[in-house]
Structures are given as structure tokens and as C-alpha cells.
């Protein structure tokens, strides 16, 4: 091959090229961004709208439905869902993964401009879901002996400093306390002077003004002077002295006479606690293009410096989650697996080659291939993450395969007596086509992944590209660096390697077994098919899941009590759970949020809900995984408050795992009552099944509310509109923000409100007075009456129908797809309305979307491999033999899944795709060598036997180096290792079984397809009545041809001898003649 010959002739040039590529790789490595996972851009957007004072039903009818109607026609929309609750609406838009939200943002904006909403509703806000919206760092701040309000100002100053760090997009806080000036009105005093709450608020605002006027020109100085009308309330004392009214006796009535004016904390039904102490939680969001590892390290350094300053010395900051730290741990564990795999591969090479020089030469291909790959990743803008490094770690053994085949063959040629340069050249040329074909087939199987859409495509395209880059780099090394170095340092062995190996007992046994399998082809094929069938059944029985269970060391405890539960009761439940958590040594710290399940995502306080996020100690310091720990504590936690629904679930920091043994169902109907009835039937059927452990519904129970029903006729007679009455009552219950006043070194808002004790009595609402257009004050009791009613606090819709989501917890002895089938069978047998329909969601839905994509990738991969080999072999038959190695790996895949007790997942599916490209390499070596021997005139059977003998060592060595190179990753050691371990597991299992079967089954397939041996066991009757097989006929024919050739050769030898004697006699006669003349 010209490339290898050039490298052998120009060693210094080859070394220079290698150094340049290595330098490029090292520089690229320092500049490649570190991420936990590849950039995932889910095509999801949301539209949020406020509608203050409106109930869920009103929000749905007046806001949600009009928005859904306008947005439903947007091109590329795959699903539209919504949530309507008191005062707010959220509409969620989902698009296909072949689109980005940026492409449809203008369409969404235009559609929203056409929506007709009530005047009281706010403008719809467009929100694009971005992975950078998720916090990269989560911290909690406390100060010993101080309330949150006492150190909140310091935290605000600290956040201001930290937000200046490059790469930090924003920092938000939860649990903060905001002070305000509360004006608690005296209801009786207010009634005596005929003033309302809004009158007081308007009066305060009218006395605290700064209004710009026109600009005037001073004629003397000829300068422009701006003018402003100013009336400031300079502090809380000035506010108290504000005159409200003039009394008939000439006295004045101040605000202090009709209200209690004081600085108080804003009322809140939520709180944040760290390890039972009140705290501020801080979430740090990074810019979308920021390197989490680098930015978070800089952030922590700056934070440590600030905390050392006297200004912030009283603050204690605990980090609950640091994405950068987790990334570093996960990446380092993969690096360790990569290095360990390389060392194991080198040990195998040394054990087989019994020579230090050869393993060292081959070992050069690993760092060169890996570092060159980093350069290619840099130029294609792909980050270093678990997927790309996982691809390298999984392929570490494959990187030496080409070099092993080349150097093994060079050694064989050295043993033939050739000099080192000749042996290096001939040895490389002989296997060049085989290793090029094997590299192309492995690359071909990954090529379709690039065309796979959806989550699978976004996750695994970087992995596929990384593996392909590394394989081509290793091929370049095998064809250039390996022959160049071998020609300089390898020496011929003292004995003929080929002859010595053929005399070894295992080679003789291999030859006998190969011959036996070829003589019993049908039996071997039947046994193989039975084993493959068992493998398929075993894989089906293992089931499927979306992602492997992860051990990320964090859990979330979700608490939900009955609707209407007051804040204090929920807080009491949280305190009891916190006390229980103190007893678990596995927990390092925990952060509690009372008032919502997800503080970041909640649009309103929910006094019946709370959540606790707990961080576990490092994996090395605990004996159980995250899920095992959950199983150990969930019953004890749930028993603390049996009236509450308490769920303990793993918290996924990578975003790639979910709650185990759960699936989601959507039940939809355009009739709310029918939906409720059908849902109840389905839940009853599911809960009656032994395999179903729990069913939770997102459809919340009806809650009691007090409705103030307006009498429109009475309101009209008194000069009022229902909207005025509703607005007045909303202000009465929530307060009115009048203005802002400087106090306590800050600008505080003024909240004009009724006292809490007054509002606690619902009947007092009837005595609230509202001014009409004539200035008369009308009591609520004159225009409305109070009624008890029920309402649904949250209304969810999917595809413009009311929807309920069921979270079904199933038995751990079922996989996700098995549970899905089981649940669907139960629902199909349930007797509910035909107008109600259901669909799967969550992981099961994503799994259903992923399977066709993965099947497409496998199908295209097999087709690409076949076409590449057709081009390589110039044959349509021989590639068919090669790809028969693929199904032979099924047995090993099944065994690997059963031994590790893992279901088939998307991750292991990708391992199977990788496996398809690997297992054919051994077949290529066998078929290619067999073809070479047949071209030399060797019969097919003998050629097959020789190919098994001569390619046994390269096949076994490459299989072992590949398998052991993946072993550290398959074990799943270190942070994040369990996420990609199944990929290595199935590759190792499939490779082991495929290697064994390839050596004996592929020759059988070859013999069936080859014309010479296709019918070698077919029997015929001779004229003498003897039974003879086709093989014996061919053997007899070959012997006759050999005998005939031998007789021809003997005749040729006699003629050559006579010709030689005649020539010698002629020369003697010439000599005699010359002497006579002399």
C-alpha cells in the first residue's frame, strides 16, 4: 500500500505529521467545553398569562381557551397542553425535534397578538424552555442567630457581586423576606368619615408625587431649565401625619388616626429552611454557551474570597448541588475508565505477543487516536461530555484492533525470513483491505445515528461522531505509524512463528474442531439457531426501559396535604420529616420549601404543599445507591403523616433519569363530569391489580370556597358594575399598593389593607363599602350575598380537552414496557365511556418515540455495512456471509443483560448499534483471508481451515482488547458511570458470543454459499451401486488433477534434463573445437 510504503521510506516526515496532530489535539483539549450531557434543545415553549382575581374556570374560558385556539394552527406543533388555576394560565407548546423554538417564535408572537383577552388580563408572556434555565449551582445561606430579614441585605449585595462573574446569566433567590409599610385600616373610623380603602390609597399616592413639567428658557441666561412638581412623603412619620380629612370642629384627621402604620414583613405562606434553620436558597443560572466546569470553579473561588471579607463574614453558605463539580467527577471517572481500559488492553497484547516492543508500538495508537479525536471534536464544535467520552472509553479497545492485525501480520512475515522493511510493507499490504473494510463498516453503522431525530438523535449523535473520528484516527496510525516503527525496531523471531503455532496443542484442537463443524454443518446451524432464539426470548423477558437507573446522590420528598390545609399544618408535617431525616447517616444536608412543590416553577403559593431536597453523602461513604436508600426510608417517611400524600423520588441532576417503576397516563375528555367518572373507574381497576402499587391523579379534589354572588339588578340600581364589586373585594383581601416611601435605607412599598383579624371572618366582607359614581358608599350586603361553593383548583388540558394525568407505580419485577402493556390491558378491560380516551406519557411515551428511531438506525446501519463490503469485496455474496456475525451476538447480549439484571434501554440499544459494527470485523478477517487463499488455488475447505488457524490469534486478541478496554466503563464505577455502563455491558457480552460463533459458524455459511462446497454433503449413487458424497467426488477429482499434474511435471522434468545434457554437450564440443584451433 502506497501510504504505508511512504511512511516506511520517510520516517521523519511521518513523525512530524504525528507531532503536529498531537499538538493540535492537546490545544483543542484545553479549549473544549466540559458538559455533563450534550446540548439538548427540547422544542418546548410556554405562554404564561395572569388574570388577577379570576378563578380557574374563568381563567380557562376567558384566557386559556382563546390562546389555545390561536396557537393550535402553528406549523410544526405536535401537542398543546395547558394549566389554568386561580389568576394564572400557562399554555405549553411542543414541536417536533426537527424544529427549533427560534424558528417558530415569530409565528407564536403573531398569533398572540391576535388573541382577544379580557381587559383585566395581563399580556401573554412567551417563554422558551432552555437547558440554561436550570440552575447550575444551588446553595443555601444562613447566619447564626439571625433572622433572614437581618442578613438578607448582605445576601443581596453578595449576589450583585457574584452576578458580575463572566458566564453567570442570573442569580435568583427563594425564601427571601420583603419589608413593606403596612397601613392597617380601622374599619369603624373609615366608615365614620365615609372613605373606602381605595380612597385612602389614592390620597397617599396623590401626596407622594414627582411629575415632570415643561422645559422653560431663562431669557437672561438663555439656558433651558426643566421643571418638576414635587411632593414627597419623607419617611414613615411623615406618612403617619398625612392629613386625611378636615373635621367640622376645625381639627384635622391624619392617617395615624384611622390606621395602624408600621414596617412589617410582607405576608407569605412559604418558607425555606436548611437543616431545620430558616435560610435563603440561591439558584445560579449560567449563560447557554458557558462552560459549567470553568465558570462554577471561578464562581466558588470568588464566593470564598467574598465570604472571607468582614462584610460577609457572618454568612454561612452550603452548596447543595454544583453542576461543575458533578461534571468534573463524572468526566474524571470516565477518564479513569478510559486509562484503565487502555492498560488492560496493553496487558492482553503483552500476554499474547510475549514481546515488549510490539505492545509498545500498538500502545502508541491509543493516545494518538484519542488526542487526534479531540482536535476533530474541536473543529466540529462538539463538547466533552459523558456521551463523547463514553464513546471514547467504549471504543478504547477498538482503537488498537487495526494495529494488532497489522503488527501480527508483520511478525508472521518476519518469521518467513524477510528483512524488517520488506516484512513491514508486505505485512501491512496483506491486511490493509481487511482493516479498511472493518473500519468503514464500524463507521457505517454509526452514520445513520446522525439522521435519527428526537431525543435519541440529540443524545447520541455526538457519541457516534466521536467513535467514527477515533476509528479513522486509529486506522491512520495502523497504516502509517505502526509499519514505520515496526520496520525500525522489530526483529525476526528465532523460530518460524507460523510453524511453531501450528504445532501447539490448542491449534491442533482448533483445526480438528473446525473440520468437525464443517463436516456437521446442519447440526451446528440448528444448535446456533436454537441459542439465538433463546437469546431473543431472554431479551424480550428482560423488558425495556428508557434510561438506566442513576445514582446521583440526591432525593426529593414531595408532600401534599388535602386542599384547604393551612400553612401551619403543612409546616408541622415538614418539621416531623426533617426530624426523621436527622437519623439517616446517608444524608449530608437537606433544604425544605414550604408553600409549593417546585419553588422555581410555581406561579402561586400552595399552602398544602411542600418539598424537601436532600443531598446524600458521596458514593464511597454510603453502602446503598440512591434508589436503594429511597426504598429503605419511604415507608417510614410516609408513616409520619398518613393524611398527606408523601412521595420520595430521586432527583436527577443530569436530567436523564426519572422516578423508577412509574409510568404516566393521560385521560382526556371534552366533558369534565364524564372525565371525572371515567378516571374514577380506571383508578379503581388499576388499584385492584396486584402488580400496581399506587395510582396518583393530577386532578385535584374540589375545594370549598366562599362565593360572593353579585345581584346585578341591585348593583345597577346602586350605580355599580359587577367588575367594580369584584375589584373592590380583591383589593380588600389582598391590599392596595399605594406608593413607595424611603425607610430603613430602602424604598418600601405602602400596602393599604384591612387587618388580618378582620379578614379572617368571612362575614365581614358584607360590611365593606364601595363608592359609586355619585359618591355614595354602598355596602356589599346590599348588592351581593355570600354562598358556599366548590371549585377545582387546577384545570389541565391536553389537545384542547380537559385532561387528568395518572402516575402509576408498578411492581419492581416489571420493566417499563412490560408495565405499559400490563396497564393498557387493564384499561382496555375497564368499562368507562367511549368518549373518554387515554394515552401514555412520560418515559413510556418517549420510549415509544425512541424505538422506531433506533430501529431505523439499526436497519440503515446494517444496509450501510453491507453496501460498504460489497464495494470492498466486489461481491454481493461474501458481504452476506460477513453480516451473519450480527445475529450471532444476540446470545451474548441476552447473557449480559440477565447477569447484570438490566432491562434493554436506549443506552444499551446504542451499545447494540455499536456492536453491529464491531462483530463484523472478525468475519471480515476470515472471509478476506479465505478469499486470498482461494486465489492461490487452495480448495475452499482447506482455505477455511487455514483462515481459522491463521486469523485465530488476531481475532481473539482484538476481541479481548476491545472487551477488556470497555470493562471499566461497563462496571460503572464513579459518578455518572451507571448511566452509560449498559452500553459497555451489551457490547462485551455480544462480542464474546459473536467471537466464538464467528470462528466456527461463519466458515459454515461460507461453505454453503461457495460453489465449490455448496453441495459437498449431497449424496450420489455410482454405477457400481456405491453411495458417494459430492465432497468425495470433488476430492477424487482434485486427486486426479494433482496426479495428472504430477505426471506432466515429471515429463517436463525429463525434457528439461535432456535439454540440459544437450546444452552441456554443445558447450564441451565448442571448447574442444577452440582448443584444436589454438
pLDDT at 826: 92
Instruction: Please name the helix (run of DSSP H) or strand (run of DSSP E) that holds residue 133, with its range, or none.
Output: none
CA distance 786 to 800: 33
Q: Where are the alpha helices (DSSP H) in 586-625?
A: none
What does the pLDDT average to over 320-347?
Answer: 76
Q: What is the pLDDT of residues 659-668, one digit of tens each?
A: 778 888 889 9
What does the pLDDT average to over 876-902?
Answer: 88
Q: What is the pLDDT of residues 252-298, one digit of tens each?
A: 889 899 899 998 887 777 788 888 888 888 889 888 777 788 888 89
The CATH number given to 553-651 is 3.30.70.1430
pLDDT at 526: 92
Specify the range with the lowest mean pLDDT, choosing from 685-694, 924-933, 956-965: 956-965
What does the pLDDT average to over 894-909?
Answer: 87
pLDDT at 1027: 47
Pairing of strands 168-174, 125-128: unpaired
pLDDT at 611 over 50: yes
Mean pLDDT taken over the chain: 82
User: Residue 161, CB half-sphere, CA atoms under 13 Å: how many?
Assistant: 19
pLDDT at 1054: 61
pLDDT at 23 over 90: yes
pLDDT at 63 over 50: yes
Q: What is the pLDDT of residues 514-570, one digit of tens each?
A: 888 888 888 988 998 999 899 889 888 888 888 887 777 888 999 988 877 888 899
Percent of the chain with pLDDT over 90: 8
CATH architecture of 180-265: 2-Layer Sandwich (3.30)
Q: What is the pLDDT of residues 801-824, one digit of tens each?
A: 888 888 888 888 888 888 889 999
What does the pLDDT average to over 173-183?
Answer: 84
Q: What is the pLDDT of residues 992-1006, one digit of tens each?
A: 999 888 888 888 888
Burial 517-529 (b: 16+ CB within 10 A, else e): bbeebeebeeebe
Q: What is the pLDDT of residues 434-490, one digit of tens each?
A: 788 878 887 888 777 767 777 777 777 888 888 888 888 888 888 898 899 888 887
pLDDT at 441: 80
Instruction: Please name the helix (run of DSSP H) or strand (run of DSSP E) that holds residue 265, with its range, or none.
Output: strand 259-265
Higher local confidence (pLDDT), 1031 or 522: 522
Q: Which long-range contacts (CB under 8 A, 24 or more apart) does 176-179 make?
A: 176/148, 176/152, 176/280, 177/147, 177/148, 177/149, 177/152, 177/265, 177/266, 177/268, 178/265, 178/266, 179/149, 179/263, 179/264, 179/265, 179/266, 179/744, 179/746, 179/748
User: Residue 461, CB half-sphere, CA atoms under 13 Å: how many?
Assistant: 17
pLDDT at 568: 87
66 — pLDDT class (breaks 50, 70, 90): very high
pLDDT at 845 over 50: yes
Q: Which three cell numbers stand for residue 895?
A: 447473557
CA distance 514 to 951: 13
pLDDT at 603 over 60: no
CA distance 970 to 985: 5
pLDDT at 482: 87
pLDDT at 502: 60
Q: What is the pLDDT of residues 26-44, one digit of tens each?
A: 999 888 887 777 777 778 8
pLDDT at 89: 92
The CATH number given to 703-737+754-794 is 3.30.2090.10
64 — pLDDT class (breaks 50, 70, 90): very high
pLDDT at 501: 60
Q: Where are the domains of the chain?
A: 2-31+355-547+848-1009, 44-129, 180-265, 553-651, 703-737+754-794, 1028-1077
Q: From 1.10.3720.10, 1.20.1640.10, 3.40.50.360, 3.40.50.300, which CATH number describes the 2-31+355-547+848-1009 domain?
A: 1.20.1640.10
pLDDT at 210: 84
pLDDT at 1020: 44
SS (H, E, C) 515-559: HHHHHCHHHHHHHHHHHHHHHHHHHHHHCECCCCCCCCCEEEEEE
pLDDT at 331: 73
pLDDT at 575: 93
pLDDT at 592 over 70: yes
Q: Which three cell numbers stand for residue 226?
A: 426643566
Phi-psi region of 719 (alpha: psi -120 to 50; beta: other; left: phi over 0): left
pLDDT at 1068 over 50: yes
Length of the chain: 1078
Q: What is the pLDDT of residues 365-377, one digit of tens each?
A: 778 888 888 898 8
pLDDT at 97: 75
What does the pLDDT average to over 706-733?
Answer: 86
How large is the angle between the packed helices 292-308 and 148-162, nearest 10 degrees?
130
Q: Where are the beta strands (DSSP E) in 407-522?
A: none
Q: What is Dmax (Cα atoms) for the chain?
A: 174
Q: Which CATH class is domain 44-129?
A: alpha beta
- Is-same-fold flag (180-265; 553-651)? no
pLDDT at 1057 over 80: no
- pTM here is 0.73
Specify the range with the lowest mean pLDDT, choosing from 101-115, 363-377, 1009-1023: 1009-1023
Amino acid at each position: 500500500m502506497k501510504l504505508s510504503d511512504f511512511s516506511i521510506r520517510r520516517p521523519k516526515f511521518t513523525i512530524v505529521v504525528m507531532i503536529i496532530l498531537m499538538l493540535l489535539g492537546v490545544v483543542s483539549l484545553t479549549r473544549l467545553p466540559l458538559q455533563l450531557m450534550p446540548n439538548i434543545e427540547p422544542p418546548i415553549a410556554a405562554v404564561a398569562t395572569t388574570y388577577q382575581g379570576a378563578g380557574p374556570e374563568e381563567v380557562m374560558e376567558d384566557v386559556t381557551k382563546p390562546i389555545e385556539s390561536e396557537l393550535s394552527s402553528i406549523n410544526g406543533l405536535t401537542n398543546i397542553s395547558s394549566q389554568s388555576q386561580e389568576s394564572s394560565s400557562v399554555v405549553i407548546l411542543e414541536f417536533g425535534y426537527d424544529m427549533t423554538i427560534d424558528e417558530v417564535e415569530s409565528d407564536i408572537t403573531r398569533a398572540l397578538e391576535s388573541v382577544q383577552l379580557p381587559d383585566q388580563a395581563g399580556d401573554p408572556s412567551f417563554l422558551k424552555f432552555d437547558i440554561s434555565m436550570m440552575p447550575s449551582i444551588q446553595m443555601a445561606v444562613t447566619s447564626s442567630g439571625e433572622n433572614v430579614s437581618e442578613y438578607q441585605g448582605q445576601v443581596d449585595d453578595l449576589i450583585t457581586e457574584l452576578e458580575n462573574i463572566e458566564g453567570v446569566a442570573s442569580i435568583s433567590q427563594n425564601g427571601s423576606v420583603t419589608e413593606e409599610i403596612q397601613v392597617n385600616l380601622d374599619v369603624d373610623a373609615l366608615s365614620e368619615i365615609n372613605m373606602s380603602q381605595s380612597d385612602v390609597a389614592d390620597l397617599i399616592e396623590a401626596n407622594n408625587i414627582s411629575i415632570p413639567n415643561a422645559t422653560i428658557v431663562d431669557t437672561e441666561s438663555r439656558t433651558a431649565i426643566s421643571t418638576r412638581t414635587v411632593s414627597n412623603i419623607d419617611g414613615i412619620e411623615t406618612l403617619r401625619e398625612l392629613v386625611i380629612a378636615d373635621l367640622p370642629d376645625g381639627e384635622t384627621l391624619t392617617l395615624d388616626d384611622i390606621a395602624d402604620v408600621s414596617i412589617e414583613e410582607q405576608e407569605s405562606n412559604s418558607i425555606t429552611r436548611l437543616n431545620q434553620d430558616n435560610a435563603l436558597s440561591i439558584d445560579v443560572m449560567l449563560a447557554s454557551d458557558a462552560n459549567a466546569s470553568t465558570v462554577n470553579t471561578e464562581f466558588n473561588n470568588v464566593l470564598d474570597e467574598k465570604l472571607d471579607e468582614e462584610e460577609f463574614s457572618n454568612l454561612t453558605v452550603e452548596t447543595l448541588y454544583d453542576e461543575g463539580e458533578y461534571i468534573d467527577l463524572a468526566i474524571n471517572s470516565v477518564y479513569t475508565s478510559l486509562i484503565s481500559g487502555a492498560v488492560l488492553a496493553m496487558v492482553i497484547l503483552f500476554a499474547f505477543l510475549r514481546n515488549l516492543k510490539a505492545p509498545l508500538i500498538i500502545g502508541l495508537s491509543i493516545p494518538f487516536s484519542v488526542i487526534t479525536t479531540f482536535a476533530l471534536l474541536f473543529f466540529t464544535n462538539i463538547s466533552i461530555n459523558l456521551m463523547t467520552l463514553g464513546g471514547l472509553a467504549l471504543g478504547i479497545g477498538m482503537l488498537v484492533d487495526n494495529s494488532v492485525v497489522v503488527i501480527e501480520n508483520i511478525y508472521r512475515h518476519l518469521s518467513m525470513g524477510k528483512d524488517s522493511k520488506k516484512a513491514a510493507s508486505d505485512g501491512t499490504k496483506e491486511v490493509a483491505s481487511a482493516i479498511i473494510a472493518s473500519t468503514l463498516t464500524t463507521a457505517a453503522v454509526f452514520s445513520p445515528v446522525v439522521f435519527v431525530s428526537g431525543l435519541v438523535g440529540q443524545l447520541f449523535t455526538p457519541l457516534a461522531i466521536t467513535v467514527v473520528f477515533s476509528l479513522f484516527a486509529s486506522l491512520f496510525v495502523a497504516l502509517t505509524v505502526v509499519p514505520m516503527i515496526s520496520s525500525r525496531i522489530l526483529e525476526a523471531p528465532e523460530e518460524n512463528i507460523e510453524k511453531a503455532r501450528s504445532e501447539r496443542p490448542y491449534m491442533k484442537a482448533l483445526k480438528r474442531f473446525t473440520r468437525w463443524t464443517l463436516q456437521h454443518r446442519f447440526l451446528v446451524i440448528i444448535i446456533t439457531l436454537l441459542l439465538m432464539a433463546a437469546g431473543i426470548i431472554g431479551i424480550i423477558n428482560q423488558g425495556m426501559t428508557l434510561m438506566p437507573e442513576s445514582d446521583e446522590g440526591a432525593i426529593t420528598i414531595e408532600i401534599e396535604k388535602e386542599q384547604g390545609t393551612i400553612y401551619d399544618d403543612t409546616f408541622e408535617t415538614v418539621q416531623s420529616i426533617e426530624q426523621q431525616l436527622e437519623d439517616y447517616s446517608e444524608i449530608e444536608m437537606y433544604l425544605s420549601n414550604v408553600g409549593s412543590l417546585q419553588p422555581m416553577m410555581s406561579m402561586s403559593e400552595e399552602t398544602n404543599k411542600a418539598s424537601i431536597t436532600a443531598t446524600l453523602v458521596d458514593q464511597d461513604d454510603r453502602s446503598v445507591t440512591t434508589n436503594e436508600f429511597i426504598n429503605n426510608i419511604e415507608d417510614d417517611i410516609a408513616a409520619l403523616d398518613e393524611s398527606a400524600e408523601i412521595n420520595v423520588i430521586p432527583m436527577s441532576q443530569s436530567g436523564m433519569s426519572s422516578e423508577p417503576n412509574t409510568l404516566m397516563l393521560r385521560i382526556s375528555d371534552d366533558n369534565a363530569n364524564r372525565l371525572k367518572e371515567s378516571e374514577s373507574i380506571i383508578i379503581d381497576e388499576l388499584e385492584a391489580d396486584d402488580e400496581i402499587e399506587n395510582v396518583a391523579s393530577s386532578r385535584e379534589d374540589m375545594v370549598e370556597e366562599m362565593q360572593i354572588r353579585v345581584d346585578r339588578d341591585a348593583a345597577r340600581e346602586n350605580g355599580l358594575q359587577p367588575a367594580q364589586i369584584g375589584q373592590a373585594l380583591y383589593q380588600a383581601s389582598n391590599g392596595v399598593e399605594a406608593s413607595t416611601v424611603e425607610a430603613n435605607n430602602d424604598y418600601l412599598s405602602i400596602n393599604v389593607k384591612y387587618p388580618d383579624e378582620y379578614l379572617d371572618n368571612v362575614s365581614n366582607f358584607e360590611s365593606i363599602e364601595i363608592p359609586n359614581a355619585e359618591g355614595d358608599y354602598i355596602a356589599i350586603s346590599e348588592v351581593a350575598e355570600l354562598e358556599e361553593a366548590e371549585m377545582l383548583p387546577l384545570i389541565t388540558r391536553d389537545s384542547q380537552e380537559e385532561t387528568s394525568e395518572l402516575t402509576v407505580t408498578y411492581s419492581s419485577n416489571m420493566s417499563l414496557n412490560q408495565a405499559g402493556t400490563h396497564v393498557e390491558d387493564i384499561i382496555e378491560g375497564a368499562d368507562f365511556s367511549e368518549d373518554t380516551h387515554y394515552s401514555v406519557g412520560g418515559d413510556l411515551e418517549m420510549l415509544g418515540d425512541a424505538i422506531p428511531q433506533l430501529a431505523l438506525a439499526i436497519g440503515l446501519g446494517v444496509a450501510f455495512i453491507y453496501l460498504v463490503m460489497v464495494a470492498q469485496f466486489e461481491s454481493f455474496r461474501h458481504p452476506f456471509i460477513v453480516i451473519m456475525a450480527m445475529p450471532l451476538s444476540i446470545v451474548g447480549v441476552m447473557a449480559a443483560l440477565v447477569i447484570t439484571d438490566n432491562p434493554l434501554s436506549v443506552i444499551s440499544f446504542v451499545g447494540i448499534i455499536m456492536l453491529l459494527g464491531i462483530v463484523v470485523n472478525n468475519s471480515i478477517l476470515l472471509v478476506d483471508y479465505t478469499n486470498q487463499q482461494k486465489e492461490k488455488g487452495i480448495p475452499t475447505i482447506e482455505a477455511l481451515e487455514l483462515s481459522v488457524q491463521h486469523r485465530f490469534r488476531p481475532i481473539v486478541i482484538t476481541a479481548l482488547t476491545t472487551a477488556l478496554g470497555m470493562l471499566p466503563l461497563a462496571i460503572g464505577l464513579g459518578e455518572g458511570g451507571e448511566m452509560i455502563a449498559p452500553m459497555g455491558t451489551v457490547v462485551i457480552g455480544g462480542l464474546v458470543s459473536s467471537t466464538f460463533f464467528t470462528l466456527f459458524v461463519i466458515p459454515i455459511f461460507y461453505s454453503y454459499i461457495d460453489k465449490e462446497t455448496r453441495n459437498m454433503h449431497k449424496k450420489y449413487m455410482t454405477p457400481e451401486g456405491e453411495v458417494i458424497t459430492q465432497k468425495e467426488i470433488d476430492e477424487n477429482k482434485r486427486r486426479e488433477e494433482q496426479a495428472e499434474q504430477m505426471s506432466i511435471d515429471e515429463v517436463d522434468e525429463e525434457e528439461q534434463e535432456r535439454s540440459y545434457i544437450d546444452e552441456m554437450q554443445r558447450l564441451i564440443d565448442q571448447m574442444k573445437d577452440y582448443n584444436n584451433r589454438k
